[in-house]
């Protein structure tokens, strides 16, 4: 039997309330190219009947000249991009405020995002959590800001919240 030198190296598992510092900026690691399928599915799933999002002939007659991506998709995507840094250990989302859409998103655009911690305070109603507010911006491949918003959420404190999923047993642990 050979000895294994395998060693578990923990990966990033997100911030807990104690890890947030007002003024910190998190540039979220993943970009995402928006596809026509994304836009069509979002309009179908949300029953959005505005032809500007799914009728290329109609959209060609507007000043945009092509379909616009449904803005609720943009909000959902940019929020999702922030999860790894902001809400991996979320207790609850509390709200989105001041949502602004300063530039359009088109099919084929790639979106990136970053969040700045605006406030962080202990929760008065849930001592196992704290309340954090971030300002998140999403921008396209040209660096043009396409969305900004404030997001407030309750985040678990360290040592609280659901237990992580256990790792599978290795052959070495099983004596093989």
CB 140 within 8 A of CB 74: no
What three-state secondary structure class fits 148?
Answer: strand
- Name the β-bridge partners of 25: 116
Which tops the pLDDT comparison, 175 or 39? 39
pLDDT at residue 66 in the model: 95
Do residues 166 and 152 touch, judged by C-beta distance below 8 A?
Answer: no
pLDDT in the model for residue 176? 59
CB 120 within 8 A of CB 20: yes
Q: Which domains does the chain have, with CATH numbers?
A: 17-156 (3.10.129.10)
Q: H/E element holding 58?
A: helix 56-60
Give tens-digit pLDDT for 63-100.
999 999 999 999 999 999 999 999 999 999 999 999 99
23 burial (CB, 10 Å; 0-12 / 13-18 / 19+) is: exposed
Query: In the prediction, which pLDDT does 167 show?
Result: 78
- Percent of the chain at pLDDT > 70 equals 94
Neighbours of 165 (CB within 10 A): 6
Give 116's pLDDT tier (boundaries 50, 70, 90).
very high
pLDDT tens digits for range 23-72? 999 999 999 999 999 999 999 899 998 999 989 999 999 999 999 999 99
Predicted confidence band at 4 (pLDDT cuts at 50, 70, 90)? Answer: low
Q: Please give the helix or strand (H or E) that residue 145 lies within, else none.
A: strand 145-156
Token pair listed for 88: 């991996």
């Amino acid at each position: 039997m050979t000895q294994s030198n395998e060693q578990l190296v923990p990966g990033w598992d997100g911030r807990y309330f104690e890890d947030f510092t007002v003024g910190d900026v998190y540039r979220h690691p993943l970009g995402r190219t928006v596809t026509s399928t994304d836009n069509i599915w979002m309009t179908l799933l949300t029953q959005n009947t505005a032809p500007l999002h799914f009728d290329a002939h109609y959209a060609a007659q507007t000043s945009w000249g092509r379909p616009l991506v449904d803005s609720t998709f943009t909000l959902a995507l940019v929020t999702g991009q922030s999860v790894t840094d902001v809400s991996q250990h979320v207790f609850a989302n509390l709200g989105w405020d001041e949502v602004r859409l300063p530039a359009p998103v088109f099919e084929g655009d790639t979106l990136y995002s970053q969040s700045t911690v605006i406030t962080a305070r202990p929760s008065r109603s849930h001592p196992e959590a704290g309340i954090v507010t971030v300002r998140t911006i999403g921008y396209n491949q040209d660096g043009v800001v396409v969305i900004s918003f404030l997001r407030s959420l309750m985040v678990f404190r360290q040592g609280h919240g659901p237990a992580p999923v256990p790792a599978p047993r290795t052959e070495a642990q099983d004596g093989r």
